Structure 1
Amino acid sequence: MNFQQDMSSDAKDSPLSGFEKTLPPEEYLIKINEVRTLLGPLTEKSSEYCSDAAISRYLAARNGHVKKATKMLKETLKWRTQYKPEEIRWEEISQEAETGKIYRANCTDKYGRPVLVMRPSSQNTKSPKGQIRFLVYCMENAILNLPDHQDQMVWLIDFHGFNMSHISVKVSRETAHVLQEHYPERLGLAVLYNPPKIFEPFWKMVKPFLDPKTRNKVKFVYSDDNVSKKILEDIFDMEQLEVAFGGNNSDSSFNFEKYAERMREDDLKFFGNTTVSSTSALLNNSDSERKHMEDKEDVKIKNGDSL
């Protein structure tokens, strides 16, 4: 496989997507109402989550199929009730963030989309559950910071210093599952920046777990290739983009103390407090208890229950 062939030449196209663009407004609203009918009575919290925009994303993820979208949304509501992603606070996951392996950049792209920077080589923990919980916190935080006109975000994945020890197939599978099933149509673009040759077999392994729509949002960009670099130039104001990605902003590198302050401010702004969720009690158990939980998760994955 040639990574260059995976790159798209349509980076200038609008990142907005959704089945509503292909339907008359009346039919679009009819489908949304059909989903609401099939959902049945909801709790107050679930009702707040099921806005027209949210239902639209699930319909888009299932190509406008009402029953499939409803089933998908029901699974998300069940997951959110059990996992409580909206209750995760910075203090619970701050250890995962210390090395800057995932953080929300100070800048947005030209469409106003928040940008999550990811650096696999900065992986600093061993717990798959902790890593997924941190990712969920980052997703929830990025969503809360979306402008009114935007539903999606951009990922910038920096492969500097990367080797295969930095990536877990298990975590990658669970990441793909959580993002595709519970955050549909939230990814506008994922830029893989300077992935090394050794990443190729891993990409081949992960691709089958991604739906075609998601795979098409993944772009490979190389600093020594002018054609692929144009993807970044079309999407970003290069004056705001980090130097690490070929931009001109030398003041935007990750600083944990400053970032922690930003996240605490966000927790306070959006939730009024920084109380750690009750679920964190499970994650802060002794090492032996955590290992036991992870071993059980391994068995589930081997049995095909995870996805």
Structure 2
Amino acid sequence: MSSLFGHKKSSKQEEAVNKGPATHEVILQPPPSSKLLPPKPKHEGDDEKAQQLRALLDEHRAAHPCDHEYEPFEARWMSNEMMYYRVLRSVRGDMKHAKKRILDTLEWRRSYRPEIIPPDEVAPEAETGKHIISGFDKESRPILYLRPGRENTKPSPRQIRYMVWSLERCIGTPQLLTTDLMQPGQESITIVVDFHGASLTTMPSLHTARHVANILQTHYCERLGRAFVVHMPRFISAFFSALSPFLDPVTKDKIRMQDTNMTEFIEPDQLDAQFRGGTYNYQFEFPTYWSSLTQRCGISHDGERKFDTPRT
């Protein structure tokens, strides 16, 4: 991980090239060639600990019920069995920390309501394509591209809510909803952070970056499968050095630097042609992207989920 915070350059910055007809089509279904990894092994006593965490939530909800509107979404989140094991893995089985984390996440989700953030609320943040969900890696993880160089708004809570909205579209509640992108049995996503065109004025503040890192690590624990950081200019090294203490070791170990050949992990036709080896010549067009994603995920403009059919 030393290269993440040093001054190592890639051998060559890839420029966008024409590797086939340009397309506005967003890839929202994994290819048949993608394969799921086997489930992560459980440790001795994990089943009992998971039951204790579920009982803790049941007890807390009985004493502190959420409002009627959000209750179905909270119940879905709680019914995701693997969520309890992810929490346990994130704290290495420490029950004291697991209980605190899961209660903190319950209260955060009640406050944030990430499943039903209205698209219209965050649409202004999406207009330049600074977050794009499209494609899947070889292990069926949805790919989320983050492009700080396309920043179009000033720092605000809405920026963070858009990041959460994007995470939720990738992750959702796959065991229960047919309209989420993540496939049954998949637990994590791939993130590509592309600093092409980024400058000091487009970079998020350290406060914002810390806030987002905390949300990802605490409330979406064990959801990051791998991350690639590409086109990183020298001036960003200090930024990452300041952010480093707030990234846990497990998160750091999942980050690959800009000299990594991403086609080792992502098939060329799933990887944006801007990157070495990619042949998916995607051209961002906001109306097409936004309508494709919201329709695929079954979300109306006010945030209401239009489909609610359990997977069979």
User: Unmatched 5+ residue regions in structure 2?
Assistant: 9-34, 66-70, 172-179, 305-312
Tell me by how many angstroms 1:58 deviates: 0.8
Give the whole-Å Cα distance in 2 for the aligned partners of 1:215 and 1:132.
21
CA pair 104-210 structure 1, distance change in 2 beyond 3 A: same
Structure 1 letter corresponding to 2:57: L
* 1:264 matched to 2:264: no
Could you tell me which of 231, 242, 255 is aligned with 2:272? Answer: 242
Which deviates more from structure 2 when the two are superposed, residues 132-141 or residues 248-257? 248-257
SS at match of 2:143: strand
Give the whole-Å Cα distance in 2 for the aligned partners of 1:201 and 1:4.
7
Residue 129 of structure 1 corresponds to 157
Residue 218 of structure 1 corresponds to 255
User: Unmatched 5+ residue regions in structure 1?
Assistant: 8-13, 223-227, 278-307
Give the whole-Å Cα distance in 2 for the aligned partners of 1:109 and 1:250.
13
Give the whole-Å Cα distance in 2 for the aligned partners of 1:37 and 1:6.
49
Residue 221 of structure 2 corresponds to 184
8 Å Cα contact 1:109-1:237 kept in structure 2: yes
Structure 2 letter corresponding to 1:162: A
Could you tell me which of 101, 115, 129 is aligned with 2:143? Answer: 115
Structure 2 letter corresponding to 1:129: P
Q: Deviations over 1:232-252 (max 9, x none)?
A: 122011233111111342532
Residue 89 of structure 2 corresponds to 60
8 Å Cα contact 1:99-1:122 kept in structure 2: yes
8 Å Cα contact 1:156-1:192 kept in structure 2: yes
Tell me by how many angstroms 1:266 deviates: 3.1
Q: Deviations over 1:79-102 (max 9, x none)?
A: 111111111122221110011000
CA pair 64-233 structure 1, distance change in 2 beyond 3 A: same
Q: Deviations over 1:175-231 (max 9, x none)?
A: 111111111011111100121111111110001011111111111123xxxxx22xx
Could you tell me which of 125, 128, 140 is aligned with 2:168? Answer: 140
Q: Deviations over 1:17-66 (max 9, x none)?
A: 98x62524xx2211111212333433554332122111111111111112
Give the whole-Å Cα distance in 1 for the aligned partners of 2:295 and 2:230.
30
Q: Deviations over 1:141-160 (max 9, x none)?
A: 01131011211000011111
* 1:31 matched to 2:49: yes
SS at match of 1:263: helix
CA pair 118-112 structure 1, distance change in 2 beyond 3 A: same
User: What TM-score, normalized by structure 1, do the two folds share?
Assistant: 0.77
Q: Between Structure 1 and Structure 2, which shows a larger proportion of helix residues?
A: 1
Q: Tell me the percent identity.
A: 30
SS at match of 1:103: strand
Greater RCO, 1 or 2 (C-alpha within 8 Å, sep 6+)? 2
8 Å Cα contact 1:6-1:219 kept in structure 2: no
Q: Number of aligned pairs?
A: 257
Q: Cα RMSD (Å) of the superposition?
A: 2.5
* 1:69 matched to 2:93: no
Structure 1 letter corresponding to 2:94: H
Give the whole-Å Cα distance in 1 for the aligned partners of 2:242 and 2:156.
18
SS at match of 1:71: helix
Give the whole-Å Cα distance in 2 for the aligned partners of 1:173 and 1:245.
27
8 Å Cα contact 1:88-1:137 kept in structure 2: yes
